[in-house]
Structure 1
Amino acid sequence: MAERPLSEANLVMSVVMQPSQANYVGNIHGGEIMKLMDSAAYAVARKHSHTNVVTARVDEIQFHLPIFVGELIS
């Protein structure tokens, strides 16, 4: 089976946020979200490069709304 071109590639990860990922008021730590983003980026990059990859740099991430324990994020 031929791989799709990068322009057609996509990945959707869905995760229910757990209490262990939250601070004392129930908001999910930004670092937990960054970790999930990095995991998704790795999966896509690894698939298309056929080798191990690393995140070299993230310039900026802006969080506009809190994410709470029990929420499903995708």
Structure 2
Amino acid sequence: MESDFSLQELAEQLVDSLGAALYFAGVKKDKIQEALEAYEALLDDESFDENAPYGIDEIIETINLLRQKRADLFTK
């Protein structure tokens, strides 16, 4: 049970880190939750290959795609 809690805690920290990355990429602070949901929706898109490696470059690419598709979430 304790290891499950640790994984949950780690997952929450990763979501918080992604939220911070989105903020520094220009997402309005009051839109971070919505941006996280939109980011997840991009990952669920059929064109995303879940077997492909997903590192820093891919995260940056996804944030840039989010900026293109959901400019309303970002500051000008």
TM-score, length basis structure 1 = 0.37
Q: Comparing both structures, which one devotes a greater share of its residues to strand? A: 1
Q: Comparing both structures, which one devotes a greater share of its residues to helix? A: 2
Greater gyration radius: 1
